[in-house]
Amino acid sequence: MSVTAETVASLLAEQKAALVADFERLLADRLASASAAAKPASGKSAAAKKPKDPDAPKKEPNDWIKFVSRVRSVVKEFVAATLPTLEGEENKEAREALQTKSAASTVPMFASHLKAENADFASWEDEAIIASFDAWERPAVSKQEAAGLNKRKGASGAASGAASAAASAEASDAEEGEEAKPKRKWSEEAKASAAAKRAAKKAAASGGASGGAGAAPAAEKPKISIKPKTSAAPAVSLKFRSWSHGGQDYFKNGRGDVISTDFDWVGRYSLETDSIDEGVEMPADLESPEME
C-alpha cells in the first residue's frame, strides 16, 4: 500500500484539529473555574455589603445618655447666665475655673458624680443639678485617666519586678560564688594585736586633743608581741591603714594588699585598673598583719 502526499496531509490536518479542540475545551474549563472562585461563597457576604437604610428608625438612646444630655443643657444655661457676673480682672481666676469645669469633656464626669449620689435620673431637678454643680470640684484625674495610669504603673511595676528578680538572682549567684571561695582568716592573736594597736592609737589621739593638763591618764596599753626586724626590709610598707574603695571600707598596705575590716583577706589592689583582684592569694608574710 503506497502512502501518498494527500494522505499524509489529511492525517496532519485531523491531528491539528483535534489538538485545537482539546485546547479550547481546556481553556473554557479554566475560565469557568476562575469565574466560580470570584463569586461569593455564600449569600452572607453579599448581605454584609448591603447599604444601610437611611429611612430606618434610629435606635433610642438609653437613660444614661439622656441624663448626660440633660445635665449638659442645664450646665450650659447656668454658665451662660453666670459668666457675665464674673467680668473684670479680679474675677479672671473664677471665670477660667468655671469655663474649665463646664467643658464638654468634663460634663460626663459631673454626671457620674450625680449618678453616684442618686442613680434615679428622673428625680434630679434642674435646681438640684445647678446647686450640685456649683459646689462640685473637678477631679484632677478622671476615672479613665486613672485607669490608664494604673495600667502603665502595672506594666512598669511588672518590668521593675522582673528587673528586681533578675538582680536578686544575680546577687544570689554572686553570694554563692563568694561562699564557694574559701576565705583565709588571720589567727585570733593577730586580730587582737591589730585591734589593740588601733585602740591605742585612738586613745592617744583623743588624749592629745583634750589637753594634757586635765586629761585622764590613758589606759594601759596591752602588751603586743613585736616581730624581730629582718635585715632585708621590704621596699614598701606592709602596715595596713584604713582605706575605702567603691563605697566600702577596707584596710590596705603599701604593696596593695587589701583586707576587710574583719581581717579577712580580700585581694590585691591595682592602681592601673582601679580594682581589687580577688584572685590573688594571700602572701605568707601577712599571717600577722600590722596596723599603722
Domain stop point among 99, 118, 135: 135
Q: Are residues 192 and 291 in the same domain?
A: yes
Residue 199: half-sphere exposure toward Cβ, Cα within 13 Å: 13
205 lies in a domain? no
Same structural domain, 193 and 292: yes
| 292 shares a domain with 189 | yes
For residue range 99-129, what is the model confidence (pLDDT) as tens digits?
888 887 788 888 889 999 898 999 999 999 9
Residues 85 and 189 occupy one common structural domain: no
77 falls within a domain? yes
The answer to whether residue 39 sits within a structural domain is no
288 in a structural domain: yes
Same domain, 255 and 194: yes
- Does 154 map to a domain? no
Compute CA distances 85 → 80, 88, 92, 219, whole Å: 10, 9, 11, 86
Q: How many CB atoms lie within 10 A of CB 121?
A: 16
Rounded CA separation 250/240 (Å): 9
Same domain, 192 and 271: yes
Residues 195 and 274 in one domain: yes
pLDDT score at 114: 92
Number of domains in the chain: 2
Residues 107 and 195 in one domain: no
| C-alpha neighbours within 13 Å on the C-beta side of residue 240 | 32
Is residue 78 situated within a structural domain?
Answer: yes
DSSP-assigned states of every residue in the chain: -PPPHHHHHHHHHHHHHHHHHHHHHHHHHHHHHHHHHHS-SSHHHHHHTPPP-TTSPPPPP-HHHHHHHHHHHHHHHHHHHHGGGG-SGGGHHHHHHHHHHT-TTTHHHHHHHHHHH---GGG--HHHHHHHHHH----SS-HHHHHHHHHHHHHHHHHHHHHHHHHHHHHHHHHHHHHHSPPPB--HHHHHHHHHHHHHHHHHHHHHHH-TTTPPPPPPPPP-PPPPPPSS--SS---BEEEEETTEEEEE-TT-EEEETT-BEEEEEETTTTEEETTSPPPGGGSS--B-
**pLDDT, block means (10 residues), the chain with 292 residues:** 71 82 86 76 53 73 86 90 86 86 84 90 91 85 55 54 55 50 61 76 68 52 52 71 91 92 89 92 80 76
**Which residues on adjacent β-strands are paired with residue 244?**
249
Instruction: Kindly state whether residue 179 falls inside one of the protein's structural domains.
Output: no
pLDDT at position 268 is: 94
Instruction: Look up the domain containing 284 and give its range.
Output: 184-199+236-292
Q: Is residue 49 part of a domain?
A: no
Looking at residue 46, what is its pLDDT? 47
Looking at the fold, whether 188 and 291 belong to one and the same domain comes out as yes
Q: What separation, in Å, do the N-terminal and C-terminal C-alpha atoms of the chain show?
A: 133
262 shares a domain with 189 = yes
Claim to verify: residue 257 and residue 189 sit in the same structural domain: yes
